[in-house]
Chain A
């Protein structure tokens, strides 16, 4: 690399307005002179309350507070300003001398952005203000980008909900590590009245993981409604994902086809944790359906790749499906939630009709304030008669 990148000029905007709060004539004189050299304008006050009024009424770009002013407490003023400007990013710079360390730490605690030690030269003041402007710009960009993601996520959610039927009996718990979730849960009524369920977990999380959900939901819902068999649907999703996703990405998923007489289920698990079938009455786990296939989106001709397992059911049996975000979620002591906690919860609450509420409570209690760093989905599907009620209502938009 021989080219020298152009030096980015670190300077403040000429039309910016600076608010100076100080009771020292010397400081005021000095800063006024410096600010004028920079071509900016300045408002001076020695009164804490008046400075808040100024913030309210004027378009202030920077606040400078002299830490040794008389008549107000600097740290309290910083706090009042921060409380007042919840949504605005006006940088607050404290003017201090090197021996003001203790007072400064209080100002930092209450939210000042930077400080400047005497002598307050135009070079140092300019550099501080300009670099704080860059940070403000970044903050605004970040906020805009998050807002945009929230809107996009709403659109994606609506599109996915349109392709899924909402069933009251199913307990669904979802959290995502960022705005977008890389987990996908769908329930679609088959032409023959049976119910198709899909739980999927894309590699990674965030937008890149979420974007694949839409084509999968399309294929899954359209083909199910038209009455195609699950293995054929899986094959189609696999080739679609192979075309769309980069080599390093895939979709771990499980699919169920619950017969409309609730007597049997066809299952396929490629890359998700064990599916539990919990028995009604005893609450014991009667089957664990292990992942026996590679995830979808990987091009590989493997014999019986889309072959489904058939398991017989009794009325009231409950499916427990989850993504690995649930078991790998950590608490504040860096301990994973793991399968043990699920098993323990199943044993403790073996008399309850559904384990859903207890599992969610156990999980939330375990994690406390620590947010999971992966997407988490837990779905509990009790095989009850109302699950097969054909008057499905499509989810209403919220």
Chain B
């Protein structure tokens, strides 16, 4: 399990990739991945879930925290490419009512793969 982060050159797009288990153990890393981004207004946060294998309720809680953070800074959160298992967890919690979930990868570098 790990959290990696990338910020676009204009600083307006933050991509956060979570691989392995997305659970309470990564909460600090996840929070750090968006808290220390400079110039936080109007930023869009893209959470790449394509490599995540599992998600527990505290991971859902972390997404709610990020959502609040983005709201305070006029930003937006996008959940990208959840695997089948992750998607079923998001569906049970009906998080599509709170987040935009993109099922087709929109990352330029991912398309190149």
**A interface residue numbers (CB < 8 A to B):** 201, 203-204, 247-250, 252, 270-273, 291-295, 298, 300, 302, 324, 374
Contacts and interface: CB of A to CB of B under 8 A. Distances in A.
B94 A291 contact: yes
A375 B46 CA distance: 32
Contacts of B94: 270-271, 291-294
B100 to A, nearest CB: 14
A272 B61 contact: no
A324 B59 CA distance: 15
Given A247-B65, A270-B94, 12 more contacts: A204-B61, A247-B61, A249-B61, A250-B61, A252-B57, A271-B92, A273-B92, A291-B91, A291-B94, A295-B93, A300-B98, A302-B97
Report whether over half of chain A's contact residues are helix, strand or loop; otherwise say mixed: loop
Report whether over half of chain B's contact residues are helix, strand or loop; otherwise say mixed: helix
Contacts of B58: 203-204, 248
Nearest to B92: A291
B101 interface: no
Interface size class of B (residues with CB under 8 A): 10 to 19
B68 A247 contact: yes
Contacts of B78: none
B97 A300 contact: yes
B60 interface: yes
A294 B64 CA distance: 12
Contacts, number: 52
Interface of B: 24, 56-58, 60-62, 64-65, 68, 91-95, 97-98
A272 B57 CA distance: 11
Contact of A203 (B61, B92, B95, B98): B61
Given A203-B58, A204-B24, A204-B57, A248 B65 contact: yes
14 contacts: A203-B60, A204-B57, A204-B61, A252-B92, A270-B94, A272-B92, A291-B93, A291-B94, A294-B93, A294-B98, A295-B93, A300-B97, A300-B98, A374-B56
B82 to A, nearest CB: 16
Nearest to B61: A248
A292 B95 CA distance: 10
